[in-house]
Amino acid sequence: MKDFRLIFFAHVKAIVTSIASMSTIRIASFVFVIGCFLTGSYYVFFRIFHYLMTVEVIGFVLMDKILEMAFFVFFIMLLFSNIITSFSTFYNDRELNFLFALPVRPTSIYLAKLLENCLYASWATMVIALPLVCAYGVTTAAPFVFYPISILSIIMYLIIPAALASMLIFMILRLFPQLKSRDVIILSIMFVVGLTFLYIKIQNPALLKILETENEQELLEFAAHLTTVGGIYVPSTWLSNILKGLRIHPSQGIFYFLVFLFTSISTTVVAFFVAKILYAKSWLSIGEHVAKKGSRRSLLSTYQRSPIKTFLAKDILTFVREPTQWVQLSIFIILLVIYVFSLRQTPMYFTFPLWRTIVSFANFAYVSFVLATLGVRFIFPTMSLERSGIWMIASSPLSFRKILRVKYFFNFFMTVIIIEALVIFSNIFIRTDQRMYVVMSVIAVLVAASLVSINLGIGSRFPQFNEDNPSKIAAGSGGIIAALLSITYVGVSILILAAPAYNYLTFKYFNHSLNYGLLYAGFLAFLIFNVFTIYVPLRLGLRALEQRDF
């Protein structure tokens, strides 16, 4: 354990040194953005829980089950995220060549990298889970012991999927050492997806059947037969049992906490012994396989006549050759496609036109939030991935303005394809109003333009040229700022568009007068807001690059 402490405190010292080197303005802006996001998230969750408490018969039960479902979704996404980042953290990190050359145990390296991987893969979940749990505790008037135990439980909850993902990666690489990194990631994710599908299919969570209840009698029967979301053997159920136990009977909650603590420690210990047997051997086999690869002629030679085409081709090849990038993008797209096609399976949307319109607007908000997440993961690191070659760009005739323009339009083109496809197909399945259909397609273009600008601009303002792992770049201070600004942009956009949408709904379905002044003012405010969010981040990023001393 002495080796592990040395590696761990070396990383802590590096983080403290990095924070100390940051300017006061940057630290203050980072704290301000984090504080605003946590406060806003807490307020939203508090309002939702407060409303559910007023619902008769099923309010408290539904609130607990929604909490279970949220943690179940978190657990699945944490597994995906840890699998995707594990290969880069445990095998492709440049620091590993130095660490394995030292007289330290491979298990110490594993523990340090396990914590590192858990941090980079789980920070977004932590940011959402903290205000969710605090809002639940305040709404239900939970005792003070609820808060520290809940925070410790969430930390343990993050370690379990990280340990499981590392064991899965080690076993696959030990059994099939010749597999490429993308093959390992795809195989691992297919395994998790298959198990998840079978588990959900067997458990058949009854929470989703609430949409089919039509009267109070069916609602009472639904509440009586409501089952655990995900089953009793999933960590999300254990975590929600801790929270519910602390709210009702603190001693019962503490008992569940101790059981959960034992489970998380046991999982980590098992992962430790698996790593002791497999990690060092699999790392060496990966290195031997990479050393045997032959060199290939670069495709960039085809585009040498045009600097802009060459730079664009280089970005495309960089993305294609990084499996953690396109594999994760593929997973996001597959999940979104499944979500869109699942809309037509819910008969509730087709019974009343008002519901179709409301769900269409809510669906657009959801797609925008997902797109904000994708932007932070894939667009924000693009400038940082230039790494040591950035000095060549700075000294070339190709200016930073042109480089940002190339990166912007390429990412904008890809983003528009994704968001327009999701919006168009989801509206087709929902069979929404044609006017909303057209308006949302136009608004989607502006949303894509702003999200690309925010992530590319902030990524250029806070680059990390010494890091080659996109997950670590996105998990840095600049990535967190970009993520929170993107989510804030989507939230503000929804608020601006909510008033015109509400006026249109009342006009179409409740015979209220249509306020054209409100409609025009809302869309004008949205347009001005997007001009600001498109221009300012790119301008800040360009100025930071031009003033940087390479």
Give the tens place of pLDDT for each residue, 183-204.
Answer: 666 666 676 666 666 655 655 5
Residues 6 or more apart in contact with residue 4 via CB below 8 angstroms: 107, 108, 111, 112
From residue 14, alpha-carbon distances to 75, 91, 499 in Å are 30, 21, 48
What are the tens digits of pLDDT across the range 263-312?
889 999 999 999 888 888 888 777 655 445 444 555 445 545 566 777 77
Tell whether the model's pLDDT for residue 435 goes beyond 60. Answer: yes
Distance CA 370, CA 372 (A): 5
Tell whether the model's pLDDT for residue 221 goes beyond 70. Answer: no
Burial class (CB in 10 A: 0-12, 13-18, 19+), 444: buried
Q: What is the per-residue pLDDT for 247? A: 81
Residue with more model confidence, 346 or 76: 76
Q: For residue 309, count other CB atoms closer than 10 A to its CB.
A: 14
Is 360:440 a contact under the CB 8 Å cutoff? yes
What are the tens digits of pLDDT across the range 24-42?
776 776 677 677 777 877 8
Distance CA 522, CA 439 (A): 13
Q: What is the per-residue pLDDT for 210? A: 43
Residue with more model confidence, 243 or 314: 243
Distance CA 67, CA 20 (A): 38
3-state secondary structure 320-380: HCCHHHHHHHHHHHHHHHHHHHHHHHCHHHHCCHHHHHHHHHHHHHHHHHHHHHHHHHHHH
Q: What is the per-residue pLDDT for 349? A: 42
Tell whether the model's pLDDT for residue 528 goes beyond 90. Answer: yes
- The listed range with the strongest mean pLDDT (84-98, 100-114, 299-313, 522-536) is 522-536
- Alpha helices of 382-399 — where are they, by DSSP H? 390-394
Q: What is the per-residue pLDDT for 27? A: 74
Question: Confidence class of residue 534 from pLDDT cuts 50, 70 and 90?
Answer: very high
What average pLDDT is seen over the chain?
A: 76
Question: Confidence class of residue 328 from pLDDT cuts 50, 70 and 90?
Answer: low
Q: What is the per-residue pLDDT for 453? A: 93
Question: Confidence class of residue 206 from pLDDT cuts 50, 70 and 90?
Answer: very low
From residue 344, alpha-carbon distances to 213, 283, 348, 349 in Å are 18, 46, 9, 8
- 62-71, 122-131, 285-294: least confident range: 285-294
Q: What is the mean pLDDT of residues 84-99?
A: 79
Q: What is the per-residue pLDDT for 530? A: 93
Residue with more model confidence, 491 or 505: 491
Tell me which residue of 162, 192, 177, 158 sits closest to 279, measured CA to CA.
177
Q: E-assigned strands of 211-286? A: none
Residues 6 or more apart in contact with residue 192 via CB below 8 angstroms: 76, 79, 80, 83, 168
Q: What is the per-residue pLDDT for 216? A: 46
- 65-79, 222-236, 357-371: least confident range: 222-236
Q: What is the per-residue pLDDT for 207? A: 43
Residue with more model confidence, 304 or 390: 390
Tell whether the model's pLDDT for residue 252 goes beyond 70. Answer: yes
Is 53:59 a contact under the CB 8 Å cutoff? yes
Question: Confidence class of residue 452 from pLDDT cuts 50, 70 and 90?
Answer: very high
Q: What is the mean pLDDT of residues 484-507?
A: 84
Burial class (CB in 10 A: 0-12, 13-18, 19+), 41: buried
Q: What is the per-residue pLDDT for 215? A: 45
Tell whether the model's pLDDT for residue 356 goes beyond 90. Answer: no
Residues 6 or more apart in contact with residue 265 via CB below 8 angstroms: none
Residue type, 233: Y
